[in-house]
Every structure is written in C-alpha cells, then in structure tokens.
Amino acid sequence: MKIPYGSGVDVGWMLKCQLAVTAHDEAGRLRDATSVQSHGALDDAYGGYAGELGCVVHSDNSGADVALWAPNARRVTLLLHGGPRGGDAHRVEMSEGATDGVWRASCGGEWVGKYYQYEIETYHPWGGGAPDGGLGGVVTSYVTDPYSRSLSADGERTHICDVNAPELKPAGWDSLKKPKPPGGGEVFEPTDMAIYELHVRDFSALDESTPDALRGKYAAFTCDGSVPVKHLENLAKAGLTHVHLLPSYDFGSVPERAENQATIDHGWLASLPSNSDEQQAAVGAIANDDAFNWGYDPVHYGVPEGSYATDPDGSARVVEFRSMVQGLNKIGLRTVCDVVYNHTLSAGPSDGKSVLDKCVPGYYHRRNMDGFYENSTCCNNTASENSMMERLIVDDLVHWARDYKVDGFRFDLMGHIMLRTIIKARDALASLTMEKDGVDGRSIYLYGEGWDYAEVERNRVGVNASQLNLAGTGVGSFNDRLREGIMGGSPFGDPRTQGVLTGLFFAPNGFIEQGTADNQRDRVMEDCEKVIAAMAGNLKEYRFINRKGFSTPGKDAAWVGSNVGYAAEPRETVNYVSGTFTFTFIRMGNWVTDVVFFFLTLQRTTTKPCSTASCFEARRTFHFPCGAGSTASPSPSSRSRKVSRFSTPVTRFCGPSRWTATPTTLGIGSTDWTTRARRTTLASVSRRVIRTATGTDTSATCSVICR
C-alpha cells in the first residue's frame, strides 16, 4: 500500500496510530480487514536521519543533550534520576523534530553523572494482549536509551557520561600502540591471525592467583603474574595474535549485582562422588540466577556487561573494559568482540529487558506476513533491512572500534543480517585512522556465521550476509564444509557418523549403518575433496585434480554444484573442525598431511621415485618437498607462504612411500622448528593442544581459532 506524495495525507500522524486496511464488496459490506506493518513508511518518511542520537555531554560538563529516534511516539518525557535506583524522577517534556522523527531535550550540568529513562506513549501491536493475541493499543512504556554508553546495574537506567572523558581512560590509553603483525608491516592481514576464544568470567572466576575482588572481572586481565595471564603470555609467545571475547556487551541473563547472584559451595561439589547426580541438580537449580551465561542475549549493544565490572553502577565498566584491552595489548594480543545483532533478548511494551521495541514498536524487529515477530535465531529477530536498525549496527561497531580499540568482530548468525549492512560496517571501520580516530581501521577483521536459513534463506528478505553472498567482500565466514568432511555427518544428523579423521572407511565404529566398504571409500574420498578445497582457502575458482582424475573448481568439490568452495580470497573463509557445541580433543600434529595422504592412497598414486611421469601436477596447493627417498626436514620458508600468495613453481605429489610432507598448516608451531611460520587457514576447536616452536605443549582450555 502506497500513499502518493502530495496527497495531503498526514503520514506522520498516521504512523502514530493503529492502522487497518478493509475490503468491501460492491454493496459496501465489510468482507475482510487486516492490520498494517509500517516499517517501510517509517523508512520512507524518517529513515534517512543521520544526526546525533543518545546522550551527548557538553565539553565543559555544563549540561547534556538527549536525542531519541521515535517517529511513531505520541509523547516522550525525559525522566532524570539522581541515582541508579529508587527516588522520584525529575520530568522534562521532550519536543519532536518537525521532519526527522527525533525527540530532543536538554539538562543542566548538575545531572552529568546521574541517570535517566524515557517515558514513551505509543501504539504497540502487543498492547492489550500477548504477542499471539490482542488487538494492540496505545501504551505507556519506560525504557533506557538504545544508544546508551553507560548504565546502572542490570541496565535499569542510562548513565549520563562522556565515555571519552579523561577520568574514564586508564593511563596511556590515548597513546596505546597495537602489537605489530607477525609478518611485519602496519596492516594486520587476516591470514596472519591466530585467535583464541574465551569467556571473560571463566578466564579467572576460580583462579586463586587472581585477587578475589577481580575474579571473573575485566580487571583480571591486568593481573601480572596470575596463572591465567601467564597462560596467555605463553600462547602469545607460541604465535597467538588475537583473543576473541564471548559476548561482553550488556546482556540480560545474569544479575549484575553480586548480592543478587546465586552461588554454590564448590568444596561441597568436589566432595561428591564423580558419578553422582547431585552436582548437576545443584548447579541446575541456580542456573537462572548465578553469575554465568554465554551472553548471547543482548539488551544494550553499546555498553560493556556490568557483571564483569567491579561496580555495575556507572562508568567503572567503561574504564575496566579499556584496561582489559590494554592488558591484552601488553601481552602482545589484539581483541576481537563477539557481536549478536541478529536478535534481542526481549521485545514488547512492558518487559524490563525490552529496549528497541518500546522505542519504535514493530520496527527494529523482523515480522512475518501475519505480523508476528520472527524468532528463527532463538528470539526476537532484528531487521537490519530497515534503515535505522542498520544504522544502529554500523554506529555500534564504530563505537567499539574507536572508543574501546577493538580489533575485530565475530558476528553471531551473520546470515540473518543484510549484506548491505555488513558492507557499510566494513567500509565505516576501514575508514578509521590513527590521526583522526586513534585506531587503524585497515587491520579490523569482520567474520561470522554465514548460515543461510529460515526467513532470510535465498535472499527472501534481501541479499543477506550468507556464505555464498560474501565472495569478494573480504568478510570471513565459518566453513562448515571442512567440519563435516573431517568429523562426518552434520549438526542435524547422528553424531556417530564418521568422516575423514573419525574413522570413516578406515575404522568403522559399528554403531550405525554407514554403507558398504565401497560406499564408505567413495564418501571418504568425497570428504577429502572438501578438505583439499579448505586447505586452498576454500576458493570457489581454485582448481585441483578430483578423485575421478578431472580438474575441478572448488565450487564443484565433492560433487558438481556443491558450493564447497565459495570464497574469492582466503580471508573470506574461517576453517574449523569443531566448535562451541562439541568437545573434541584434537592433536593437530600432521593431520592435514595425513588427509592428503589418505586421498593420494585412495587414488592409488605411484610409489616409485619422483619423476615427472610418476607424479601429477598440483599447482598452487600444499607445499610438499619432492624427491626420491627424501628424509630431510622441511624448512620453515617452504611452509610460510600464504595461500593467497601462490608463487611456488609446479609442486608434484609423489607416491606415499617416497615423499616427506610438510607438517600441518593449521598449528601455531611445529615440534622442532625454531621459526614460527605463518598460518594459512583457520581452524576452531573446543579443546586442543597448541604445540609451540620449541616442542612444548600448552593446553588450551577454551576454543581456539588458528590461522
């Protein structure tokens, strides 16, 4: 339904009302009626706003200006509070801009450092009924600012502060110098990254070498000499370059005040028999109220989580998050943040954790044709196809990069975000400079889960940031093809299904029917093609000799039209073997070499000494030294070439009894090499051993991504 420009209809007022469309027959009798989704009209009329939003404190602390984009609100009042909880509010009526849908107000300098909320009167489709019922209605909601930069505990009120005030910066923050790339130069290439995934609280929560008040906090990363910090120091020496923090924005599943967090006696847990059911029952009983959650339930995207701060009220979280980044930097590590822009924890007009949906009901969240909110990401899917949700995402990423010097972002369910949004974010981040912003945006890497499913599948909502759409963008996505080839099966099948490294054909487990030996042999060769494509950067146009002896591009590996290879350059692929939901311990020794060995063995390649006639050519693939009976250890330089720099001459694969293979391209180091080689691809495992250049094994207790 479109309203022509110049029709005289007051679109602005219509957007503040409940709208319905009716159908009548020739006699004027009502035959049908439906409600109206107004997000398209909101974008047309107000979606181009590019001015300030949130709270801006005057440079001399003489006051602050507040701006909220809420074009369908009927009335908005600023409620100023003297503290984080309780007390009466000072009310300031806000005024709406004539053309931009932004409500504005100001307050004096006496309110700087204090708190505020909005009281909003608006029509909400859930007003007067539950999400699956009711006719909607005009409601009054109380909400924090979507552009909050600091909060009171549990996100109840927005804190009025300037995050760039000198007192909110640890000593040396403005002059912080980022660790240099291992390959030299100023720009950190993704193909040089080795990423360690960890949970902020779990890093130190039970560590006795960390001061008690700092356990489970951002500040634990600044404790020189503690066991967790020394562990990261050892990993950095072994070649680790980045730490990926699980969600550390404000999320809603953990009580932020310590007095509200349920606890359990760990000594009592340890005293129980190992086969007792009591441990799980006891932990499960407090799960909703304890201090732990992964954090994939965002409330305020632009504020550090308060439960990780020593004081969840006010700006301590701002200072301490920066101190954490500074502490990692001191170790020689850069910081990656996990971001979850695909959904919010809550929606609706009344829940305390609902923010976006109270401000502009029905706009920030994706709705289906019946008007219900999509929940394929778990709950309350957001709608980045709408202009101001897209702007919120881009603004937030720039905020974390500029104000907290974050070096990369891992997108949860990135395929549910529009590709246009990711490209705008990439370009905005890349434009940041040391001179203007204090960070070099050229070294910021974006990657995420490019799964293509549910309502966004096959670009049904718009061109989304899924695997097949990312080629040529420089944005990375996790490569599940390698995982399925290595582990076997899929996340949705029987977990006992085997793959290349779990015994398919070579050691059938006997638990499930996997076909005849010939069937398994064919499948393991097919899976090997997935591995070979991954080792070549998962490039869709890279060609190799397949199991049937034909030259085939990566996009046709395993079978024609498979899209196994989907990347245009190696940085767009994040190869991994097992992840968050699996607990596979893998020793990454020479497994890549072994996979290719399997493939060559199954192809029945010659075992004669190497010669042009007895070896098949494999241009721009793995670097295998070739020579009759060679036993010399490969030099580090033979392994250090990135997949994106195919400058080697023709490399020939010889028979399996006549060649010495280069050790894995996935590990951080090698048993006996003294020079750390560059990583050529990524792999993620839940638990693994990192082997350092001196041969020392360093156990990693969290997920690891190595490139």
Instruction: State the catalytic residues.
Output: 412, 449
3-state secondary structure 447-498: EECCCCCHHHHHHCCCCECCHHHCCCCCCEEEEHHHHHHHHCCCCCCCCCCC
Which residue blocks in 589-696 are alpha helix, DSSP H? 591-602
Using the 8-state DSSP alphabet, how is residue 360 labeled? S
- Phi (first) and psi of residue 104, to 5 degrees: -130, 150
How many other C-beta atoms are found inside a 10 Å radius of the C-beta of residue 211?
Answer: 14
- For residue 543, the 8-state DSSP code is E
CA angle 229, 235, 238 (to 5 degrees): 150
Those residues whose C-beta lies under 8 Å from the C-beta of residue 47, and which sit 6 or more positions away, are: 386, 387, 388
Distance CA 570, CA 538 (A): 7
Distance CA 347, CA 365 (A): 8
Torsion on CA atoms 371, 375, 380, 382, rounded to nearest 10: -80
* E strand spans, 333-411: 334-339, 408-411
Long-range contacts of 2-5 (CB under 8 A, 24+ apart): 3/41
Residues 705/683, Cβ–Cβ less than 8 Å: yes
**At what angle are helices 387-404 and 419-430 packed, to 10 degrees?**
30
Q: What span, in angstroms and rounded, lies between the C-alpha atoms of 427 and 424?
A: 5
Q: What is the DSSP string of 131-171?
A: TTS---EEEEEEE--TT-SSBSGGG-SEE---TTSGGGS-T
> Measuring CA to CA, which residue among 179, 177, 173, 190 is closest to residue 331?
179
The C-alpha atoms of residue 298 and residue 365 are separated, in whole angstroms, by 13
Burial 65-94 (b: 16+ CB within 10 A, else e): ebbbbbbbbeebbbbbbeebeeeebeebeb
3-class SS string, 594-623:
HHHHHHHHHCCCCCCCCCCCCCEECCCCCC
Are the C-beta atoms of residues 552 and 524 closer than 8 Å to each other?
Answer: no
Helix axes 316-331, 227-237, angle to 10 degrees: 40
Q: Which class for 474: exposed (0-12), middle (13-18), buried (19 or more C-beta within 10 A)?
A: middle
- Residue 55 · residue 158 · CB < 8 Å: yes
Q: Tokens 């209605």 sit at which residue?
A: 137
First to last CA, the chain: 50
Cα 517 to Cα 310: distance, rounded to the nearest angstrom: 60
Amino acid at 199: H
Partner residues linked to 122 by β-bridges:
73, 139
The DSSP result for 18-70, as a single string, is --EEEEE-TT--EEEEEE---HHHHHHHHTT--S--EEEE-TTSSEEEEEEE-
